[in-house]
Amino acid sequence: MSLIALTVHEAGEKLRRREISSVELTEAVFERIAATDDKVHAYLTLARDSALEQAKQADTRLSTEAQPSPLLGMPIAVKDNFLTRGMRTTCASKILGDFMPPYDATTIAKLRDAGAVIVGKTNLDEFAMGSSAENSAFFPTRNPWNLERIPGGSSGGSAAAVAADQCIAALGTDTGGSIRQPAACCGVVGMKPTYGRVSRYGIIAFASSMDQVGPITKDVRDAALLLQALAGHDPADSTSSNRYVPVYSEALSSGVKGLRIGVPKEYFVSGMQPEVENAVRAAIRQLEKDGAKIDEISLPHTEYAVAVYYIVATAEASSNLARYDGMRFGHRAEARDLTETYMISRDEGFGPEVKRRIMLGTYVLSHGYYDAYYLKAQRVRTLIKKDFDEAFKRCDIIVTPTAPTTAFNVGEKTQDPLQMYLSDIYTISINLAGLPALSLPCGFDGDNMPIGLQIIGKHFDEPTVLRAAHAYEQATQWHTKKPKI
Amino acid sequence: MKLTRESVQRVATLARLRLTADEESALTAELDHILGYMVKLNKLNTANVELFSHSVDNLNALREDKVTNQSNAEALLANAPERDQTFFRVPKIIE
């Protein structure tokens, strides 16, 4: 087996047994990137020199430490909306120019402490706004399974890099599905933890009440290992939880016998690709065969989630993006006065989708519309969260499709923003309610494009989500399929 | 209710975004379409529904009022579009 195809747990074993070195593994990853990234375009910035330096240090630590971290020496890709000290961070926007972060995001600091090797920064939809990675100000990322298809978004670069073996694992962020939907499109595992489980400090803010960091990996065990390294309280993020962090890998082998699984009837509606429905139904039968109890449930306010999300998320985004004023960092245009400097800098710096969302967010917060849109949406958000609270009285996890279709063609939805927003229909409610959810492969459509299964858990019940996902993965082995590039 | 071009101009000014005439007409149509979709929320009676505040119960996060970060003025100023010694240079704001 080639080095690049290894998972974190497989590579970790080999590293700790000194069968391979981190430098060898890192070199192999960079060779793979050199051979494939002119097709996939997953990376915005490569950090070969610093990565090899970190790999050398990891090899030293591997030979001296008694209890090395599972991530020690592991080449990991990072979405380009994490601040990385001394490594250019763009958020796939022109407005940040060649921004050089003066500090690390807490999650990046944790990776560095664990001895991970940071390969580079991956492409995304500008400011994480999009479902296809086409809204990058630099270039669109392509799906390794079919280069004419989108990789999903916004963490499209991270998902594509994992699928193409251009890293061993990756980090993404998820505000409305931005980890899970690209993971589904690229046939890999993506997990959005409970809101507050992982620090948001040093993540470029999009919608602060929903943004969450999570892993994109080749299998479920790797997701557990990465989540372990990322989770925990951070004094620098007042919304991070100080709840006890369980040992996630211990939950993996318990199986699904007796587990109560809810299947929401509102998630199987017209408009979804029949092959997606068939694959998800087959996955549910598999879980039932392995001893889970399946129950149809109702999440009655599902149909309102897209409307609520695109009000709340754009409102928060319009406030968060007010900081891009061209004064202390980023792009500044030449203009006659201060107001014009703001207006032209922002016009030149932001792409069309970001402008659209700033406009929408400003509108729903503006005088005369605030009650009708923003407050209305915040009330319906309460109803959406209550739907889940009710459902979780009857079940332990909820299983749904991750996305209504497999990856669509590049350019297919760029002319119709609302159609693009509807690709998040199964993922956004989970962010509105702050729940943990994971997507993993559950089959392929007739064009050999991967299909994703979403497993949703109770707040802070990542162990049960991981346990069900691992049981399904081991029973089916979809995760072992690789794209040919 | 149809979104007017004047409302789009007003919102663009609030958001400090310069828009070209083409962008203005495109956004008027797109935002009208998207806001039209949002109208479905009015089907729900939410008179007695609480406003959402937090998805996860969290106590107020308090800490001691003391400086914990180190000064890194040079690294911060390194990203400035324009600087003057240890200051950010900005356009004149008072005539």
Residues 433-452 on A with a CB inside 8 Å of B are 433-435
Using CA coordinates, name the residue in chain A closest to B17. A343
pLDDT at residue B61, as a whole number:
80
Over residues B56-79, the pLDDT tens digits come to: 877 678 888 998 888 888 989 999
Strand order across the A169-174 sheet: A43-46, A117-122, A75-79, A169-174, A212-217, A189-192, A437-444, A450-457, A397-401, A260-264, A293-297
Question: Which positions 296-355 of A are in contact with B (Cβ < 8 Å)?
Answer: 301, 303-304, 306-308, 310-311, 318, 322, 325-332, 335, 337-344, 346-347, 350, 352, 355
CA distances from A474 to A1, A291, A467, A468, B87 (A): 19, 14, 11, 10, 58
Instruction: Indicate yes or no: CB of A359 within 8 angstroms of CB of B63.
Output: no
The domain segmentation of chain A, as residue ranges, is: 3-259
pLDDT confidence band for B55 (50 / 70 / 90)? confident
Q: How far is B77 from chain A (nearest CA, A)?
A: 7
CB < 8 Å to B22, chain A: none
A340 neighbourhood in chain B, CB within 8 Å: 18
How many residue pairs bridge chain A and chain B with CB atoms within 8 Å of each other?
Answer: 156
pLDDT score at A45: 98
Instruction: Please check the confidence at residue A64 and state whether its pLDDT lies above 70.
Output: yes
Which listed residue (A22, A69, A154, A345) is catalytic?
A154
Q: Do A194 and B56 touch (CB under 8 A)?
A: yes
Q: Which of A209, A332, A434 lies at the smallest CB-CB distance from B81?
A: A332
Q: Which residue of B has its CA nearest to A367?
A: B11
**Active-site residue, from A69, A79, A132, A429:** A79
User: If you average pLDDT over residues A60-69, what whole number do you get?
Assistant: 95
Lowest mean pLDDT among A4-13, A175-184, A341-350, B60-69: B60-69
| Helix residue ranges, H only, A352-427 | 352-365, 376-391, 417-421
Structure tokens at B49: 């529904």
Other beta carbons within 10 angstroms of residue B93's beta carbon come to 8
CATH fit for domain A3-259, picks 3.40.140.10, 3.30.365.10, 3.90.1300.10, 3.40.630.30: 3.90.1300.10
Q: Identify the closest residue of chain B to A371 by CA–CA distance.
A: B51
Cβ distance of B8 and A359 shorter than 8 Å: yes
pLDDT tens for residues A449-467? 999 999 999 999 999 999 9
Q: Is residue A237's pLDDT more than 90? A: yes
Strand blocks (E) in A117-188: 117-122, 169-174
User: Active-site residue A439, yes or no?
Assistant: no
In this predicted model, what pLDDT tens digit does every residue of A205-225 receive, in sequence order?
999 999 999 999 999 999 999
Is A418 within 8 Å of B44 when comparing Cβ atoms? no
State whether residue A35 sits within 8 Å of chain B by CB: no
In this complex, do B91 and A338 lie within 8 Å of one another by their Cβ atoms?
yes
Name the nearest CA neighbour of A401 among A223, A185, A210: A185
Written as six digits, the tokens of A115 are 């001895």
Among B20, B23, B34, B67, the strongest candidate for a mutation testing the A interface, having the largest count of A CBs within 10 A, is B34
Q: What is the pLDDT of residue A463?
A: 98
Residue A343: list chain B partners with CB under 8 A.
16-18
**DSSP type of residue A7:** -
Residues in a beta bridge with A120: A46, A77
pTM, 2 dp:
0.97
β-strand pairing of A75-79 with A189-192:
unpaired
Which position among A69, A178, A318, A439 bears the catalytic label? A178
Q: What is the pLDDT of residues A143-177, one digit of tens each?
A: 999 999 999 999 999 999 999 999 999 999 999 99
Sign of the CA dihedral with A471 first, then A474, A478, and A482 last: positive
CB contact residues (below 8 A), chain A span 102-161, against chain B: 102-103
- Whether A154 is catalytic is yes
Class of domain B5-43: mainly alpha
**Catalytic residue flag (residue A199):** no
Residues in chain A with CB shorter than 8 Å from the CB of B78 are: 100, 102
